[in-house]
Structure 1
């Protein structure tokens, strides 16, 4: 799935494991529509990828995108 800012999506942050699940649940509780994309597919700034060393063991780093529900 291609995430597009011109469709109202905002890139929030990257996470993995339990932190990822907690963040997704929190954004949904706040009323946002949430999409999660593997970091490699989300693109990013040059040099991005340093956080992959902090991923939960066996869990990929994912990037969280949100937009207000109903858009």
Structure 2
């Protein structure tokens, strides 16, 4: 779980760096606006929907194999 969060954080940081590079190469205000708008919702969506879904699927598959 800790490794997954660290991995997610690394991916998110990389994504945000690329997004900031692409959308606003100059201008501190637009960089801050992009960070404020995209960071929190992106983190929540990745953490709750994508990672939660993958983690749940893998765990339930493992538990099913072990229990049967």
Q: One fold, TM greater than 0.5?
A: no
Between Structure 1 and Structure 2, the one with more helix by share is 2
Structure with max Cα Rg: 2
Select the structure that is richer in strand.
Answer: 1
